[in-house]
Amino acid sequence: MTDNAINTPAQPRPLAAGLLWTGAALLLLVALPQVFPGRAAVSTLNYLGTMALFALSYNVLLGRTGLLSLGHATFFGLGGFIASHAVLAMADAGWSFPLPLIPAIGGAGAFALGIFGGWLASGRGGMPFAMITLGLAELVFAAAALFPSIYGSEEGIGIDRMDLGASFGLDYASAADIYAIVAVWLALCAAGLWFLAKTPLGLLMTAVRDNAERVEFLGFSARRIRMSAYAVAAGVAGVAGSLAALNFEIMTVHELGAGTSTLVLLMTYIGGTRHFLGPVLGAVVIGLMKLWLSDISPAWMMYFGLLFVFVVMAAPGGLAGILASGIGLARSGTLGAQAHLLGAIAAAGAIAFAGIVVLVELGYRAGLDAALGPDITVLGLGLNTQSAGSWALGTVLLLVGAAALRPLNARLADLRHSLAKTGETA
């Protein structure tokens, strides 16, 4: 039996389910601008689509190959600059090149640079890889200051996307036209990356993630596999960068800086690295949080950081992992038996979270935003940074919530254990 088990190919995904997923995704892409019309909303969709593609490319490294890159924005930025210069040069020369194909140029350029970068970085995985990518990213960022004619100075390189003229019946004046470009590229690249995961190379990437030594013993070069993953990720990041350049019509050095690299790491990891669409989920959630939360709280970056640390410590599957386990729970038929404990955990978590929010908001008002005065309304509560009661309230909420969580989690684990036992005997 064991021999057969090894030789049995993985269950092919039923064609119908695959078609259903593809259809749903395409329908969603088409429907979104109809549901959220208006220039600002479509602009937001463009940004989210770009970041979703960027995060998907990052997950080729982080989730698929198990490589932590700290300089992925390098290729996002370089792709964007290559695309910008392509637009400028072609507009200068008077060529009529279809604008929607510009990301192919940015992507190809980033792919070529990614091969070189991958050759430097991929000798070892794990931490050396992380540090080398960090060093390369800093090198490119620091060198960018030396070449103002390529990277622009402080104000960056601006383009006019209408310079290349109309093509495919669109003149690219409106955000909706750019949405069409973003959606098509997102769908194409996502399909390509999905397909890549099924190819022998994709499987080898997973194998390198799980046990690089073993892969070497099988006669493959782990270095070349890492390098391929790096180059593919760089190329797709270049496409995403080009889309960003077309959307914003400007590219600055900050796009290839450490901040952008951190953002894509946060998006991908919080979304979930072990599910194909996890990065997309993360990009959408973090992207929207970035847009909305930055309006209502000065502490939004702090919340990102805390959310990231929470996910790393408590939910390494990310949001997609949480969703998947929720769906698994609903299907298992034991949801009813666990509902009271899950409800209690949610309540305790909400209390602890409220405590954190109160403390963080008080902290920002007492420190950074002290000029705005001591009175602040958090979660509908009137608080004052100078009253000990306000600080005590936050601390008590946090401590009570955290103290309640611990025994509740233990009880949930016990309950699940006994449920699994009865499931086996039944």
Partner 1 sequence: MSIDVLAFSLLNGTLYGMLLFLLASGLTLIFSMMGVLNFAHASFFMLGAYLGFEFSQGLGFFPALILAPLCVGLIGAGVERFGLRRVHRFGHLGELLFTFGLAFVIEEAVQMIWGRSPQAYPVPAALDFTAFEIFGTGYPAFRLFMLAVSAAIFAGLALLLNRTRVGLIVRASLTHPEMVSMLGHNVPLVFMSVFGAGSALAALGGVIAGPILVTQPSMAAGLGPILFVIVVVGGLGSLGGAFAASLIVGFIQTFAVAIDFSVADAFGLIGVTAPPAALGALLRDVWNVSVSQVGPVIPYLLLVAMLIFRPMGLAGKRA
Q: Which residues bind partner 1 (CB under 8 A)?
A: 66, 68, 70, 120, 123-124, 126-128, 130-132, 134-136, 138-139, 142-143, 145-150, 258, 262, 265, 269, 299, 301-302, 304-306, 308-309, 312-313, 316, 360, 363-364, 367-368
Q: How far is the CB of 386 from partner 1 (least distance, A)?
A: 16
CB nearer partner 1, residue 247 or residue 273: 273
CA dist 348 and 354 (Å) reads 10
Q: Could you give the 3-state DSSP secondary structure of residue 139?
A: helix
> CA Rg, the chain, in Å?
24
Nearer to partner 1, 27 or 309 (CB): 309
User: For partner 1, which is the closer residue by CB, 113 or 360?
Assistant: 360
Question: In terms of CB distance, is 112 or 130 closer to partner 1?
Answer: 130
CB atoms within 10 A of CB 221: 13
Q: Name the maximum alpha-carbon separation found in the chain.
A: 76
Residue 111 CB, nearest approach to partner 1 (Å): 20
Q: In this complex, which beta carbon is closest to partner 1, that of residue 103 or of residue 117?
A: 117
CB of 67 to partner 1, least distance (A): 9
Question: Would you say 137 or 180 has its CB closer to partner 1?
Answer: 137
The DSSP H or E segment spanning 384 is strand 381-384
Distance between CA atoms of 206 and 92, rounded to whole angstroms? Answer: 45
Residue closer to partner 1 by CB (options 248, 364) is: 364
CA 182 to chain centroid:
16
- The minimum distance between CB 311 and partner 1, in angstroms, equals 8
Given a contact cutoff of 8 angstroms between Cβ atoms, the answer to whether 107 and 246 are in contact is: no
Q: Please identify, using beta-carbon distances, which residue of 145 and 327 lies nearer to partner 1.
A: 145
Token pair, residue 416, equals 């699940």
Concatenate the DSSP letters of all residues of 353-378 into one string: HHHHHHHHHHHHHHTTTGGG-SEEEE
Residue (57 or 268) nearer to partner 1, CB: 268
How far apart CA 103 and CA 75 sit, in angstroms, is 13
Residue 234 CA: distances (Å) to CA of 113, 167, 319: 8, 28, 25
HSE (CB half, 13 Å, CA atoms) of 248?
Answer: 19
Query: Cβ of residue 301: shortest distance to partner 1, in angstroms?
Result: 5
Residue 378 to residue 205: CA distance in whole angstroms: 47
Distances (CA, A) of 400 to 88, 320, 396: 60, 28, 6
* Min dist. Cβ of residue 64 to partner 1 (A): 13
Residues 6+ apart with CB under 8 A from 336: none
Give the count of beta carbons closer than 10 Å to the beta carbon of residue 400: 14
The minimum distance between CB 143 and partner 1, in angstroms, equals: 5
Instruction: Find the shortest distance in angstroms from Cβ 199 to partner 1.
Output: 24
3-state secondary structure at position 251: strand
CB of 145 to partner 1, least distance (A): 7
